[in-house]
Amino acid sequence: MKKLISIITPLFSLLFLPNFSNAANCISIAGQNIDPSSIYDSRHQCGTCAGQAAKPALCGAINRVMVPYWSASADLVTIPHRGFWGRSLGKGASENTLAAAKAALNAGHRIIEIDAALTGPSNSMRKVFLGHYFSMSAAGGPAKTTPHHLTPAELVKFKMRKRDQSLSFDEDDHLPLLSELLTWAMENQVLLMIDPKTPGSTLAHEHDRIIAYSLNEARTLGALANVAIKNVNRHNWTLIGIKPYLDGPFSDYDGQFLWSPIVNKSMAFEKDETLASINSWHKATQNSKQVITYETSLYNPTFWAATPFVEQGKNYLNLIDYVKQLTPLGKRSAVWSIDPVGDKGTLDREYRWKFSGNSDKDKRGNPFRNISYELGRHVVINTDRPDWYEQMVVNPY
């Protein structure tokens, strides 16, 4: 089974390449021929047939997420969380590294989620790098040292530990700067879903700076089409926060990259607040044409987001269904699967073991539960173990 999946998976993106037999409806996906302008902002690389033709592998991967195959029994898309790491009994590539990104692409994934944070020590020197731990012990450094104590040149000398916690000596396991990953992503037509993290930082507006600096670097390299930004705030609050740190007016960036709003990051988010957040993003992004996914959390079978509800006189199966009905072709939700990374659960921000995701209230660490919800087989799964999910469903492609 694993060998069969390894053969089939790299072919996935080829199935969603543009079809230029019809000049307007040049995307063939989910049994339909679609005009790119109906699902993308026309300023995005993939928003025109010409743009699709120039970057067929990149756009093919994004097309599949943007147009779910709702009539199929399943159309589950897996996105490797921090790359494809920890294989070979924990001796494989380390998380959030170039090695993990390369391994993900080799396994057939052209969309990869990464964590992004800022180095130190002064604003003039700060760069975006890949990582989310407070403690440099995650990379074999001093436990009381954080990334904010180090310059970019100092930071890239460290190498992330492997899944079995051993120190790595592999060349591509070093802590990379975002610019390195963006250059690689451009060369290989890969989309990076950037999740801003603020490990150990007490500086004001750190989250906003990470988003803005990431967009600045992508724009400088000509890689905005290779970026999707995950964000917990509403659209208007986000723009207010990032604009002071952009290198130019937001119009120089707008529409050329994608967003992935995280709409109910904790169980404290009630229905009205969550739906208001979704609606604000939908309205501000040309009816979600600038949004690749809405990250939703259902938490457990009795949580409000997992159960039927009525909004403005309309019935919805759950929050996934609400997101689906935003657009005529059906918008796709994303789910974060809190997979155990070792025999003691997961590692917290201090690089200490903890159990999470499998309590009575939060069951996101249960892959069978995650796809058992209504429409749960048509979501995007951000996961450390995409191989688990790929063997649990039969996709239409």
- Per-residue pLDDT of 198-236, as tens digits, reads 876 677 799 999 999 999 999 999 999 999 999 999 999
Residue 17's pLDDT band, with cuts at 50, 70 and 90, is: low
**Residue 220 in domain:** yes
| Residue 312 pLDDT exceeds 50 | yes
Record the pTM: 0.93
Q: Which residue has the tokens 């290779």?
A: 226
| Residue 387 pLDDT exceeds 50 | yes
Total domain count, the chain:
1
Q: What is the pLDDT of residue 253?
A: 98
Residue 271's pLDDT band, with cuts at 50, 70 and 90, is: very high
More confident residue, 339 or 17: 339
Q: What is the pLDDT of residue 315?
A: 98
**Residue 146 in domain:** yes
Given CA atoms 139, 142, 143, 149 in this order, what sign does their dihedral have? Answer: negative
Average pLDDT, the chain: 91
More confident residue, 359 or 294: 294
What is d(CA 12, CA 70) in angstroms, rounded to the nearest whole number?
17
Residue 10's pLDDT band, with cuts at 50, 70 and 90, is: very low
Amino acid identity, residue 259? W
Q: What is the pLDDT of residue 199?
A: 75
Mean pLDDT of 132-161: 91
Mean pLDDT of 355-383: 90
| Residue 333 pLDDT exceeds 50 | yes
Q: What is the pLDDT of residue 13?
A: 47
> What's the token pair of residue 91?
């001796």
**Residue 362 in domain:** yes
Residue 177's pLDDT band, with cuts at 50, 70 and 90, is: very high
What pairs with residue 130 in β-bridges? 116
> What's the token pair of residue 66?
């943007």
What is d(CA 183, CA 164) in angstroms, rounded to the nearest whole number?
29
What is d(CA 280, CA 299) in angstroms, rounded to the nearest whole number?
23
Q: What value, to the nearest 5°, has the Cα angle with vertex 97 and ends 181 and 55?
A: 35
Mean pLDDT of 288-303: 97
Mean pLDDT of 359-363: 87
Mean pLDDT of 324-352: 88
Mean pLDDT of 40-51: 98
More confident residue, 302 or 16: 302
| Cβ-contact 83, 131 below 8 angstroms | no
| Residue 20 pLDDT exceeds 70 | no
What is d(CA 350, CA 125) in angstroms, rounded to the nearest whole number?
25
**Which of helix, strand or coil describes residue 57?**
helix
Q: What is the dihedral of CA 81, 223, 62, 369, to 10 degrees?
A: 20
β-pairing verdict for 27-29 and 227-231: unpaired
| Cβ-contact 323, 330 below 8 angstroms | no
Q: What is the pLDDT of residue 152?
A: 94
Share of the chain above pLDDT 90, in %: 76
Share of the chain above pLDDT 70, in %: 92
What is d(CA 319, CA 302) in angstroms, rounded to the nearest whole number?
13
Amino acid identity, residue 82? R
| Residue 8 pLDDT exceeds 70 | no
| Cβ-contact 243, 253 below 8 angstroms | no
- Structural domain of residue 110, as residue ranges? 2-390
| Residue 251 pLDDT exceeds 80 | yes
What is d(CA 227, CA 221) in angstroms, rounded to the nearest whole number?
12
Mean pLDDT of 247-263: 98
| Residue 6 pLDDT exceeds 70 | no
Number of neighbouring beta carbons within 10 Å of residue 163: 21
**Residue 396 in domain:** no
Q: What is the pLDDT of residue 22?
A: 53
**Residue 397 in domain:** no
213 CB-near residues (< 8 Å, 6+ apart): 118, 126, 127, 128, 245
> What's the token pair of residue 223?
């890689």
Q: What is the pLDDT of residue 148?
A: 84
Task: List the helix and strand counts (H, then E) for the chain.
Answer: 13, 15
| Residue 4 pLDDT exceeds 80 | no
**Residue 357 in domain:** yes
| Residue 102 pLDDT exceeds 60 | yes
CATH number (domain holding residue 43):
3.20.20.190
What length does the chain have?
A: 397
Please report, for residues 121, 297, 359, 381, the alpha-carbon distance to residue 365 in angstroms, rounded to integers and kept in the order given: 36, 12, 9, 12
> What's the token pair of residue 58?
């990149």
28 CB-near residues (< 8 Å, 6+ apart): 16, 18, 19, 34
**Residue 144 in domain:** yes
Give the pLDDT confidence of 124-139 residue by residue, as tens digits.
789 999 999 988 999 9
**Residue 395 in domain:** no
Residue 9's pLDDT band, with cuts at 50, 70 and 90, is: very low
| Residue 1 pLDDT exceeds 50 | no
More confident residue, 122 or 388: 388
Number of neighbouring beta carbons within 10 Å of residue 250: 12
Q: What is the dihedral of CA 262, 268, 270, 275, to 10 degrees?
A: -10
Alpha-carbon Rg for the chain, nearest whole angstrom, is 20
Q: What is the pLDDT of residue 16?
A: 57
What is d(CA 1, CA 361) in angstroms, rounded to the nearest whole number?
34
> What's the token pair of residue 237?
């609050």
Mean pLDDT of 104-124: 91
| Residue 5 pLDDT exceeds 60 | no
